[in-house]
Chains A and B, each alone.
Chain A
Amino acid sequence: MIPVSVNRSEIETGIPAVDASGLPDYVSDAEFRESAARERREKLRMFLTNWQGLTGLILVTLFFASAIFAPWLAPYDPNALDVPSRLSGPSWEHPAGTDQLGRDTFSRILYGGRVALKIAAIGVSVALVVGLILGMIAGFGPRWLDNLLLLLFDTVRAFPTIVLALATVALTGPSLGMVLAIVIITSIPQYARVARTATLTLRNTDFILAERSLGASMSRTLLHHVMPNVVGPLLILAAMDVPVVVTVEAGLSFLGLGVLPPTASWGTILNEGYLVIRDAPWMVIAGGIPLILTTLGFTFLGEALRDIFDPRMGKGR
Chain B
Amino acid sequence: MPKDAIAGSEALLDIRNLSVDFRTPRGRVKALRDVSFPIRKKRIVGIVGESGSGKSTVLWALLGLLAKNAEVVAGEVRFGDRDLLHASEPQLRATRGEEISVVFQDPMTSQIPVLTYGTQMRDVLYRRRNASTAEKRRMAVEMLGKVGIPDPDKRIDQYPHHFSGGMRQRAGIAMALLTGPQLLLADEPTTALDVTMEAQIIHLLQDLQKELDATVVVVSHNLGLIAELCDDVVVMYAGEVIEAGDVREIFHNAQHPYTRALLECDPARIDDVSRKLPVIPGDIPDLTRSLSGCIYAPRCQRAMPICREKTPPDVARGGMSLARCHLLDGPHHDTAWPPPLDVTTVGQGEASARKPARVRRDDPLLEVTDLNVQFETVGRLRARLKGIRQRHVDAVLDVSLSVASGETVGLVGESGSGKTTLGRTVLNLVQAQAGRVRFEGQDTHNMPESRFKPLRRDMAMMFQDPVGSLSPRKSVRALITEPFQIHGVTGVDLDAEAERLAEMVRLPKPFLSRYPHELSGGQARRVGVARALALNPKLIIADEPTAGLDVSVQGEILNLMANLQAEHGLGYLIITHNLPVVRHIADRLAIMYLGRIVEEGRTAEVFDRPVHPYTRALVDGVPQPDPDRRRKHVSISGEVPSLLNRPEGCDFAARCPLAQDRCRTGKPAHVTMADGRRHACHFPLH
Complex Cα distance, B429 from A42, in Å, reads 43
**CA A8 to CA B468, docked complex, whole Å:** 8
Docked complex Cα distance between A214 and B470 (Å): 12
Taking CB atoms, residues of chain A closer than 8 Å to B287 are: 22, 24
B288 lies within 8 A of A35 (CB): yes
Name the B residues within 8 Å of A2 (CB-CB).
56-57, 60, 105, 187
Q: Is the CB of B471 within 8 A of A26?
A: no
**Interface residue A25 (Cβ < 8 Å from any Cβ of B):** yes
> Looking at B27, B468, B486, B523, which has the most chain A CB atoms within 10 Å of its CB?
B468
Q: A207-B470, A224-B471 are in contact. Are A17 and B517 (CB under 8 A)?
A: yes
- CB-CB under 8 A from A220, the residues of chain B are 486
- Which of B18-26, B248-256, B669-677 lines the interface with chain A? B18-26
A93 within 8 A of B: no
- Asked if B548 is at the interface of the complex by the 8 Å CB criterion, the answer is yes
From B238, B467, B468, B483, give the contact of A214 (CB < 8 A).
Answer: B483
Which of A4, A10, A229 has the largest number of chain B CB atoms within 10 A?
A: A4
CA distance A213 to B508 in the complex (A): 26
Which B residue sits closest to A218, measured CB to CB? B449
Question: Is A210 a contact of B461 with CB atoms below 8 Å?
Answer: yes
- Whether A213 pairs with B522 at a CB distance below 8 angstroms is no
Residue from B24, B52, B68, B517 in contact with A316 in the complex, judged by beta carbons closer than 8 Å: B68
A38 to B283, CA, bound (A): 22
Task: Please give me the residue from chain A that is nearest to B28 by CB atom.
Answer: A21
Taking a contact as CB atoms under 8 Å apart, the answer to whether B68 and A317 are in contact is yes
Q: A31 touching B286 by the CB < 8 A rule? A: yes
A27 to B514, CA, bound (A): 12
Residues 447-491 of B contacting A (Cβ, < 8 Å): 449, 452-453, 456-457, 460-461, 463-465, 467-474, 482-483, 486-487
Answer whether A4 and B188 are a contact pair too, CB < 8 Å, given A18-B517, A24-B285: yes
A2–B531 CA distance with the chains assembled, in angstroms: 29
> Which residues from chain B contact A224 at a C-beta distance below 8 Å?
471, 474
A215 touches B487 (CB 8 A): yes
What is the distance, in angstroms, from B202's C-beta to the closest C-beta of chain A? 18
Question: A206-B463, A317-B68 given as contacts; is B283 within 8 A of A25 (CB)?
Answer: yes
Interchain nearest-CB distance for A174 vs B (Å): 43
Contact A214 B531, beta carbon cutoff 8 Å: yes
B468 and A213: CB pair below 8 A?
no
Contacts of B640 in A (CB 8 A): none
**A43 to B520, Cβ gap below 8 A?**
no
Q: Is B427 interfacial (CB 8 A cutoff)?
A: yes
Given contacts A1-B31, A22-B31, contact A42 B25 (CB under 8 A): yes
Residues in B with CB closer than 8 Å to A206 are 463-465, 468-469
Closest residue on chain B to residue A23 by CB atoms: B26
Taking the closest CB of chain A, its distance from the CB of B563, in whole angstroms, is 21
List residues of chain B with CB within 8 A of the CB of A3. 51
Q: Which residue of B lies closest to A26 (CB)?
A: B283
Contacts of B610 in A (CB 8 A): none
Q: Which of A94-114 contact B (CB under 8 A)?
A: none
B555 within 8 A of A: no
In the complex, whether B69 has a CB less than 8 A from a CB of chain A is yes
B284 within 8 A of A: yes
> Please, how many angstroms separate the alpha-carbon atoms of A20 and B26 in the complex?
12
Tell me how far the C-beta of B94 lies from the nearest C-beta in chain A, rounded to whole angstroms: 24
Complex CA–CA separation, A283 to B517 (angstroms): 54
Q: Do residues A39 and B26 form an inter-chain contact, with CB atoms below 8 A?
A: yes
Q: In the complex the two chains form, is B284's CB within 8 Å of A1's CB?
A: no
The reply to whether the CB of A263 lies closer than 8 angstroms to some CB of chain B is no
Contacts of B57 on A, CB cut-off 8 Å? 1-2, 22
> Interface readout for B508-531 with A: 1 if CB under 8 Å, 0 if not?
101100101110111100000001
Interface size of B by CB at 8 A reads 74
> Whole-angstrom distance from the CB of A194 to the nearest CB of chain B?
17
**Residue B577 CB within 8 A of the other chain:** no
Known contacts: A24-B287, A25-B520, A31-B286. The answer to whether A209 contacts B486 by CB under 8 A is no
A24 and B465: CB pair below 8 A?
no
B587 within 8 A of A: no
A36 to B514, CA, bound (A): 10
Given A5-B547, A19-B24, A32-B518, do A210 and B470 touch, yes or no (CB 8 Å)?
A: yes
Residue B303, interface by CB 8 Å: no
A31 to chain B, nearest CB (A): 6
Chain B CB within 8 A of A225 CB:
yes
Check: A9 CB closer than 8 A to any chain B CB. Answer: yes
Q: Are A7 and B467 neighbours in the complex by a CB distance under 8 Å?
A: yes
B191 at the interface (CB under 8 A from A): yes
In the complex, the answer to whether B456 meets A215 with C-beta atoms within 8 Å is: yes
Assembled-state Cα–Cα distance A210/B285 (Å): 32
A135 to B105, CA, bound (A): 36
Check B465 against A21 for contact (C-beta < 8 Å): no
Minimum distance in angstroms from A292 CB to a CB of chain B? 34
Residues of B within 8 A of A43 (CB): 25
Are B467 and A25 neighbours in the complex by a CB distance under 8 Å? no
A25, A42, A216 — most chain B CB neighbours (10 Å): A25
Report the separation of the CA atoms of residues A38 and B26 in the bound assembly, to the nearest whole angstrom: 6
- With A4-B191, A209-B463, A317-B68 as given contacts, are A22 and B22 in contact (CB-CB < 8 Å)? yes
Chain B residues 596 to 654 lying within 8 A of chain A, measured CB to CB, are: none
The answer, yes or no, to whether B550 is at the interface (CB within 8 Å) is yes
B284 and A25 within 8 A (CB): yes
Residues of B within 8 A of A225 (CB): 471, 473-474
Encoded as 1 (CB less than 8 Å from any A CB) or 0, chain B from 388 to 432 comes to 000000000000000000000000000000000000100101000
- Is A142 positioned at the interface, with any CB of B under 8 Å from its CB? no
* B124 CB contacts on chain A under 8 angstroms: none
Q: CA–CA, A38 to B548, complex, Å?
A: 28
Alpha-carbon separation in the docked complex, A61 to B516 (Å): 34
Closest to B483 in A: A214
Which residues of chain A come closer than 8 Å to B465, judged between CB atoms?
7-9, 17, 206
Asked whether any CB of chain A lies closer than 8 Å to the CB of B545, the reply is no
User: With a CB–CB cut-off of 8 A, which chain B residues contact A207?
Assistant: 463, 468-472
- The proximity string for B residues 243-280 relative to A, scoring 1 for CB distances below 8 Å and 0 otherwise, is 00000000000000000000000000000000000000
C-alpha gap A317/B24 in the complex (Å): 11
For residue A205, CB closer than 8 A to chain B, the reply is yes
B221 within 8 A of A: yes
What per-residue 1/0 map shows which CB atoms of A40-84 lie under 8 Å from chain B? 001100100000000000000000000000000000000000000
- A196–B650 Cα distance when bound, in Å, is 44
Within 8 A of B (CB), among A247-271: none
B192 CB within 8 Å of chain A: yes
Q: How far is the CB of A125 from chain B (nearest CB, A)?
A: 21
Known: A24-B284, A29-B510, A229-B472. A213 touches B467 (CB 8 A): no
* A312 is an interface residue with CB less than 8 A from chain B: no
Interface residues of B in 220-241 (CB under 8 A from A): 221, 238
Contacts of A154 in B (CB 8 A): none
Question: Distance (Å) between the CB of A93 and the closest chain B CB?
Answer: 52
Q: In the complex, what distance in Å separates the CA atom of A25 from the CA atom of B521?
A: 8
Contact A1 B51 (CB under 8 A): yes
CA gap between A42 and B467 in the complex, in Å = 25
Bound-state CA distance A214–B540 (Å) is 12
Is there a chain B Cβ closer than 8 Å to A171's Cβ? no
The chain B residues found within 8 Å of chain A, CB to CB, are 22, 24-27, 29, 31, 50-52, 54, 56-57, 60, 67-69, 105-106, 109, 187-188, 191-192, 221, 238, 282-289, 424, 427, 429, 449, 452-453, 456-457, 460-461, 463-465, 467-474, 482-483, 486-487, 508, 510-511, 514, 516-518, 520-523, 531, 547-548, 550
A-B contact pairs, 10 of them (CB 8 A): A4-B51, A7-B467, A7-B468, A10-B468, A18-B517, A19-B26, A24-B287, A38-B25, A213-B429, A214-B456
10 residue pairs, one from A and one from B, having the closest CB atoms: A9-B468, A26-B283, A29-B510, A228-B473, A42-B25, A215-B456, A206-B469, A2-B56, A21-B24, A25-B520
